[in-house]
Structure 1
Amino acid sequence: MTTPLFTRTDTTLGDFSLRPVEPAADATLLHSWVTHPKAVFWLMQDFGLAAVEKEFTRIAADPHHDAFLGLHNGTPAFLMERYDPAHRELVGIHAAAPGDVGMHFLTAPTATPLHGFTRAVITTVMEMLFTDPATHRVVVEPDARNTAVHALNKAVGFEVLRTVSLPSKDAYLSTCTRDQFLATQGDHR
């Protein structure tokens, strides 16, 4: 098992950590998450196990894209991708500035949801991204129909810049600076 690259403790929900995805070892778990109806906006509903492993192997080999498995109290519970928007996702759509980092995240499907869990996950993701002093702004492009993530993004400081048309969706191009994120943290840490 890979050692976590980042860990934070939430005062009410416990420990959250992130480690690199291991495509072969994690493929079965990730397949169950990305093909679940909850993950419709990940556009992998029809992927077989081999296609999921191939996708995460491709990401692992890409110098501008990384995938991380998120753990909650040591148990796999979420997925995060980090990418360079000057090279992936938003090329030709968003003029990436130095210090921009793109991000996607997905919480695992569960029959027993924890109140505040998704907020704790996105807080963990944002804290990890901002531990790199070179990161000045996080950029996201969630599907315009994904109202749940829009509310969550707003809660941690994201500002919608505009709607953009991507090959697979219309998306809300949104950004969050370190200061915008820190201003939202208050009692939610």
Structure 2
Amino acid sequence: MTTTECVYEQTVDGFGTVRLVRVDPARDAELLHGWVSEERARFWGMREAGVEDVREVYAHLDSLTTHHAFLAYRDDVPVALFQTYEPEADRVGECYDVRPGDIGVHLLIAPAQVPERGFSGHLLTVLTTFALTGHERIVAEPDAANDKAIALLERYGFELGPEVVLPEIVLPEVHLVEKRARLAFFSR
């Protein structure tokens, strides 16, 4: 990783330096495939995808001006996949009243060799600070059955919203199955 790729950096006392770098589909597909194909990532919806499928998904995402994918590095070690998007340009925008200044997020924390107390909270502190730059409110929409993600968001201070059904999307370049999701909001 070079510093010129870094789009955001924040040092957290006692945790380390977190850097966000745009996902490069060619460079990062194998790493991301390793994360999204694990059982623990079943809610990400890519367990059956091959490396080339992952590369294609992130190449498509990289072509959009409304959706962005980042790798989060902690002291130069990749620790999470973080995606931001404009809710009005996403299927979630059909499920709630989007406000000016809203930004949507997706987070997949990398598998840990040894769980670390406070890790997710420190990481969320950095990621929400980044996401709220120029925005007023974050919307997250984890799978309604993903109790761990919902509990993490709630512990962090997200206000839980309603359960919604995100509609299926079928386009030549992307297919997303219908999904029951739980909305969660975090305001500046």
Which TM-score applies when normalising by structure 2?
0.89
**2:180 matched to 1:170?**
yes
- CA RMSD of the aligned region, Å? 1.2
> Match for 1:176: what amino acid?
F
Q: Are the counterparts in 2 of residues 85 and 100 from structure 1 also a CA contact under 8 Å?
A: yes
Who is 1:150 aligned against?
A: 150
For 2:16 and 2:113, the matched residues in 1 are separated by 19
For 1:156 and 1:75, the matched residues in 2 are separated by 23
For 1:84 and 1:45, the matched residues in 2 are separated by 25
For 2:151 and 2:179, the matched residues in 1 are separated by 19
Who is 1:185 aligned against?
A: none
Structure 2 residues not aligned, in runs of 5+: 168-177
Alignment of 1:80-99 (within 5 A): 80-99=82-101
SS in 2 for 1:126: helix
Who is 1:9 aligned against?
A: 11
SS in 1 for 2:59: helix
Deviation at 1:141, TM superposition (A): 0.8
For 2:98 and 2:39, the matched residues in 1 are separated by 32
Of the candidates 71, 78, 81, which is equivalent to residue 79 of structure 1? 81
Alignment of 1:1-189 (within 5 A): 1=1, 2-130=4-132, 132-133=133-134, 135-167=135-167, 168-178=178-188
Query: How many percent of aligned residue pairs carry the same amino acid?
Result: 34
> Match for 1:165: what amino acid?
V
Aligned length: 176
SS in 1 for 2:52: helix
Who is 1:186 aligned against?
A: none
Structure 1 residues not aligned, in runs of 5+: 179-189
SS in 2 for 1:5: strand
Who is 2:174 aligned against?
A: none
4+ residue segments displaced more than 3 Å: none
Deviation at 1:89, TM superposition (A): 2.9
SS in 2 for 1:90: helix
> Match for 1:161: what amino acid?
G
Deviation at 1:128, TM superposition (A): 0.6
